[in-house]
Chain A
Amino acid sequence: MYTKNGESYFVVDGHVHFWDGSPANQANIHGTQFIDCFYDYHKNLSPAEWLWPKEKFQKYSEDDLIHDLFEVGYVDKAIFQPTYLTDFYTNGFNTTEQDGAIAEKYPDRFIVNGAWDPRDGDAGLRKLAELAARWNLKGVKLYTAEWRGDSHGWKLSDREAFKYLEKCQELGITNIHVHKGPTIRPLERDAFDVHDVDVAATEFTGLNFIVEHVGLPRLEDFCWIGTQEPNVYGGLAVAMPFIHSRPRYFAQIVGELLYWIGEDKILFASDYAIWQPKWLIEKFVDFEIPADMTEYPELTADVKRKILGLNAAALYDLEVPPGLAAKVPGQPEAEVAVGASS
């Protein structure tokens, strides 16, 4: 929880990692370059006083994680999003099992998400059921651009993916986090394209689709889909740190999101350990849309409360402590910010 100027905020960090990118775990040059790339993200968009030495960034301790999120970072609940990358890292970069082991030591602090790949077929479906039972999964994190054998990635609109989405529905895994992202193999189409999310969200209205990084660098396509589909949400990981280096640009992202998808569909995330929740939350609570950007609505304390925690709490059925709910009731669930009819 964070309190400032008499306003209190329940905080859910929607995207955190406990990774091992150390040289000992790097399986090849791609593993080296992957963590280097993350480190450049960290250096590029962090305030100077928050920079870590590279060795610490490659592999930080459990104490660092707990301290940075909960002791100083104001986070009430954190959602682990796994990133397996088993081709790059001998023991994986950040698996469900590794996350789960930490989560069990700190009850009520973490939400453990799983992962699946439709190309694993029936065996993968069974594995998903086991994973769900073992970790009580309420969400999964998916990477569609990953190549495998002859397959050049996959789409959420694929028949095979539908089987997994059906399974998720059956298992009560209602939150589907989708990471559209870079591919390390050549791809004739755009690996960031989010249009398949539209198809899946229309078909599976009982599931919530959280597009990570609010679709960046394809913000417009994400916003358009979010306008049409009431069950599409945006996670702010990677967009958040612009609040420090490019505050006017951050205002535009948030302004566009508020216009297209509305205040009930935006989720705070730090992407820890790329960035630290403490400074992101402090700056966000202080943040105001610049006065000359009259095209965007005001970021009120209630809107901030929703983004920082209440929206994620609704998706993951988390109990919000008394007095920390938004003071003004939100718009009805089924409504979206902009009419799809226009």
Chain B
Amino acid sequence: MPTFLQLTLDALTLGSVYALVALGYSLVYGVLKLLNFAHGDVVMVGSFIGYGALQALGGSANPAVPVWLLLVLITLAAMAGCAVLGVAIERCAYRPLRNAPRIVPLISALGVSFFLANSMQLLFGAQQRDYQSYLLSGGSLYFRGFDVDTVHVPLLRIITISSAFVLMVILWFMVNKTRTGRAMRATSFDGEAAAMMGIDVDRVIVFTFILGSALAGAAGVLLGLRIPTFTAIGFTLGLKGFTAAVIGGIGSIPGAMVGGLLLGAAESYTAGYWTTSWSDLVVFSILITFMIFRPQGLLGREDIRKV
């Protein structure tokens, strides 16, 4: 029986990955009012790029570069690859549908998600890819760390959680303190008015996709460091990420973080105290409860419809 502390550690790890995924959803939804169903598959592609980069640098057992540099490099590779992918997706599948009825880009997003998942399966097969993070620097990322009570907190967990939070802080800074970030917030508040004020909305949207997809790439690598990855994870991951975004309040950055952590907690406590097979059920009930009683989420603004 895992202890409460152990489960909390799991919750934090899982939650920080969910939060990164949720941020991507939230950013795109804020600017485009579009549910990017393909986002989960971008995360999947990110974890594959990370795996490819890891193998190119010599694998986990004896990498060609120091371990810290290795981790930074594979994360950067995944972030860059996913950013390019995100821009391509936006350019081809969403931009032509900018003014279409709301339901149409959703269908296009489903198509993209399907295309990505099956293309990856065609190219790399359906088998699992393991980063073998337990081999990194002779396993010391697992041995080292500190102990809380009887629970050992491995160094790798600390790295995962803290890097996710560092990324979120950087994102918060970019959105709230830079010029482009201000343009993003303006576009998300009212795209038409922003365009009239001289903001290049297309550029802002591309930038949003770059940010969101880069976070997805990082999330993919963090996930890959924890569990083996395969081509079908994108669908469930996207669903969880979106749920986290809705719980926190879609369009809100701190909301996505809170939602992600909450979802991670719900999942790991269910798994620990009850059973893993029904954790989806718990998550679904939380989602439904929020949708009925607080559709704007924990930290979201209430959406006022103007006629």
Q: Do A and B come from one complex?
A: no
